[in-house]
């Protein structure tokens, strides 16, 4: 049986923090898995969180903060005194610092920056000026760079001098720059041990491939897919070396973007949600979607109300309405997914609506006929009435064409209009396919009513 410490570790964490037992707190945290440590810190009240972080050393607190979800890390740091927050932020890697401060309220971020060493604060401001999903926003500045006239021995001596804090640096490669800072080459640090000390770096370096600071996330993905480097050097428009983007940072950014898009498509907007957020915040974010969705569903239901007499006369239609609605939604969502992927990869542009529509119509025609034939056959076999099969099968076939048309082109149209397609495509698709599905079934049934009753 699990002990209370195992099931409620935040209680033990609170005891150590309140008792200012630094040794006990550190030992207890080190005994927890990283996910359990995150779970524990998030279950604490604000005062206890502050006590935990200020009891730990700034470096230990920074390690804990870096494991937290972004929004919760921001909230916890904002609740600290600026001097305490600055001491923790200073111990974080540069890319993590920039991400954290960029997500904070500007006044809180500035208060922390004023408490940081001037050089560090200037660097963070520069990194935070880039968008999150470009190379400049993902890069770190803890890396090794040396001028091309340096020797292998110079580099080895420098590495030995930095041995105490070498864990803070990206250590796979050393980058070679010209006297005015332009990137000219790269070499693997491990190769230096086998290189004569007097050898100039210009003789042993390899040409460096790089990306610009403005390079987007999708281009970075293509880069790491084609090249198996652990990091990518980032340069400005003049070719001067600014930082490096780790392969893992690109992969994490892609995963975070996928998570955000999934949440938006499920109607959770305004940021990543976890259940330790304030209840009103979570409610407001969900309602922003649900309040729109209920209006759209009322519009779809109104179509049924217009044909209530037909539905009462042929009650069997009620069985098929949700099937047609669901199947059309599924086929439409497949088209949405393909359009979203092609947009993210840059292989389709928002103005290519006609091309995308023609491609989807060809698939929708085949699938619509196939699905309509299956559903129509089931309806005919169930009620022994071929006209019922024709009504529901024909409605599904036509609504499949409508669904793939909307699913294919609406994300492009929304993107062109500057609206987030991940957020808006879903409700538009669902509402339109429901309205047309109900309308097609009930209008066809009204036309053939004598043959259905």
Summarised one tens digit per residue, pLDDT across range 416-440 is: 887 767 666 777 788 888 888 889 9
In the prediction, which pLDDT does 177 show? 92
Determine the average pLDDT of the residues in 160-168. Answer: 74
Candidate ranges 167-171, 216-220, 340-344; pick with highest mean pLDDT: 216-220
> Please, what's the b/e burial string for 96-132 (b: 16 or more CB within 10 A of its CB; e: otherwise)?
bbbbbbbbbeeebbebbbebbeeebbebbebbbebeb
In the prediction, which pLDDT does 72 show? 84
CA 29, CA 315: separation in Å to the nearest integer?
63
In the prediction, which pLDDT does 319 show? 87
> Does 258 have pLDDT greater than 50?
yes
Average pLDDT, the chain: 84
> Does 268 have pLDDT greater than 60?
no
Q: Is 245 helix (H, G, I), strand (E, B) or coil?
A: strand
Q: Which residues contact 339 (CB under 8 A, 6 or more apart)?
A: 348, 356, 407, 408, 409, 410, 411, 412, 421
> Does 6 have pLDDT greater than 60?
no
The pair of three-digit structure tokens given for residue 272, joined into one six-digit string: 């990543």
Helices (H) and strands (E) in the chain, counts: 23, 6
CA 98, CA 225: separation in Å to the nearest integer?
26
In the prediction, which pLDDT does 2 show? 46
CA 232, CA 244: separation in Å to the nearest integer?
5
CA 62, CA 68: separation in Å to the nearest integer?
10
Q: Greater confidence, 205 or 307?
A: 205
Cα-based distances in Å from 231 to 13, 135, 142, 220, 228? 37, 11, 12, 11, 9
Note the pLDDT tens digit of each residue in 174-198: 899 998 889 999 988 888 888 899 9
In the prediction, which pLDDT does 112 show? 93
In the prediction, which pLDDT does 4 show? 46
User: Closest by alpha carbon to 427, among 324, 317, 298?
Assistant: 298
> Does 272 have pLDDT greater than 60?
no
Q: Greater confidence, 288 or 272?
A: 288
Of the pLDDT bands very low, low, confident and very high (cuts 50, 70, 90), residue 282 is low
CA 405, CA 365: separation in Å to the nearest integer?
11
> Does 267 have pLDDT greater than 70?
no
Q: Greater confidence, 174 or 169?
A: 174
- Whether residue 232 contacts residue 223, with contact meaning beta carbons closer than 8 Å, is answered with yes
- Considering just the CA atoms, what is the radius of gyration of the chain in Å? 30
Of the pLDDT bands very low, low, confident and very high (cuts 50, 70, 90), residue 276 is low
According to DSSP, residue 209 is labeled P
- Whether residue 231 contacts residue 223, with contact meaning beta carbons closer than 8 Å, is answered with no
In the prediction, which pLDDT does 291 show? 67
> Does 365 have pLDDT greater than 90?
yes
Q: Could you tell me the strand order of the sheet in which 143-147 lies?
A: 143-147, 170-177, 183-188
> Does 271 have pLDDT greater than 90?
no
Domain boundaries, the chain: 4-133, 143-263, 279-452
In the prediction, which pLDDT does 131 show? 85
- Whether residue 241 contacts residue 183, with contact meaning beta carbons closer than 8 Å, is answered with yes
> Does 331 have pLDDT greater than 50?
yes
The fraction of the chain above a pLDDT of 90, given in percent, is 23
> Does 414 have pLDDT greater than 70?
yes
In the prediction, which pLDDT does 81 show? 92
CA 51, CA 117: separation in Å to the nearest integer?
24
Report which secondary-structure segment, H or E, holds 361.
helix 353-383
Q: Is 134 helix (H, G, I), strand (E, B) or coil?
A: strand
The pair of three-digit structure tokens given for residue 426, joined into one six-digit string: 């879903």
Report which secondary-structure segment, H or E, holds 185.
strand 183-188
In the prediction, which pLDDT does 299 show? 76
The pair of three-digit structure tokens given for residue 268, joined into one six-digit string: 């959770």
CA 135, CA 232: separation in Å to the nearest integer?
9
> Does 86 have pLDDT greater than 70?
yes
In the prediction, which pLDDT does 422 show? 67
> Does 451 have pLDDT greater than 80?
yes
Q: What is the DSSP string of 36-58?
A: HHHHHHHHS-HHHHHHHHHHS-H
> Which architecture, in CATH terms, is 279-452?
Orthogonal Bundle (1.10)
- pTM of the predicted protein model: 0.60
> Does 1 have pLDDT greater than 50?
no
Least confident of 56-60, 78-82, 305-309: 305-309
- CATH class of the region 143-263: alpha beta
> Does 301 have pLDDT greater than 70?
yes
- CATH class of the region 4-133: mainly alpha
């Amino acid at each position: 049986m699990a002990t209370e410490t195992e099931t409620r570790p935040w209680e033990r964490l609170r005891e150590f923090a309140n008792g200012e037992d630094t040794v006990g707190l550190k030992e207890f945290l080190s005994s927890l898995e990283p996910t359990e440590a995150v779970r524990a810190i998030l279950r604490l009240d604000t005062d206890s969180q502050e006590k935990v972080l200020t009891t730990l050393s700034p470096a230990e607190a920074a390690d804990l903060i870096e494991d937290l979800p972004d929004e919760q890390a921001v909230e916890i740091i904002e609740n600290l005194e600026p001097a305490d927050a600055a001491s923790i932020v200073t111990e974080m890697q540069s890319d993590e610092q920039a991400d954290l401060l960029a997500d904070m309220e500007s006044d809180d971020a500035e208060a922390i920056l004023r408490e940081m060493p001037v050089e560090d604060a200037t660097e963070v401001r520069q990194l935070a000026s880039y968008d999150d999903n470009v190379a400049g926003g993902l890069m770190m500045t803890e890396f090794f760079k040396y001028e091309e006239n340096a020797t292998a021995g110079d580099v080895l001596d420098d590495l030995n001098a930095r041995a105490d804090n070498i864990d803070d640096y990206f250590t796979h490669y050393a980058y070679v720059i010209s006297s005015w800072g332009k990137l000219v080459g790269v070499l693997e640090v491990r190769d230096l041990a086998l290189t004569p000390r007097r050898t100039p770096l210009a003789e042993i370096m390899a040409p460096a491939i790089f990306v610009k600071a403005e390079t987007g996330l999708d281009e970075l993905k293509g880069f790491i897919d084609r090249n198996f480097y652990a990091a990518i050097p980032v340069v400005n428009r003049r070719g001067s070396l600014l930082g490096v983007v780790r392969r893992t940072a690109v992969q994490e950014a892609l995963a975070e973007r996928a998570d955000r898009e999934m949440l938006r498509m499920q109607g959770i907007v305004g940021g990543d949600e976890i259940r330790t957020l304030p209840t009103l915040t979570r409610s407001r974010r969900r309602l922003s979607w649900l309040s729109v969705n209920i209006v759209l569903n009322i519009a779809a239901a109104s179509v049924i109300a217009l044909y209530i007499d037909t539905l009462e006369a042929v009650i069997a239609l009620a069985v098929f309405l949700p099937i047609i609605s669901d199947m059309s939604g599924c086929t439409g969502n497949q088209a949405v997914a393909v359009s979203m992927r092609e947009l993210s990869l840059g292989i389709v542009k928002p103005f290519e609506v006609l091309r995308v529509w023609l491609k989807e119509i060809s698939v929708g025609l085949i699938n619509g006929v196939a699905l309509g034939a299956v559903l129509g056959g089931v309806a005919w076999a169930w009620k022994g009435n071929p006209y019922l099969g024709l009504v529901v099968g024909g409605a599904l076939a036509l609504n499949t064409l409508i669904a793939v048309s909307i699913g294919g082109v609406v994300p492009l149209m929304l993107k062109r209009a500057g609206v987030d397609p991940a957020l808006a495509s879903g409700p538009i698709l669902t509402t339109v396919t429901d309205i047309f599905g109900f309308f097609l079934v009930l209008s066809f049934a009204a036309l053939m009513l004598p043959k259905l009753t």
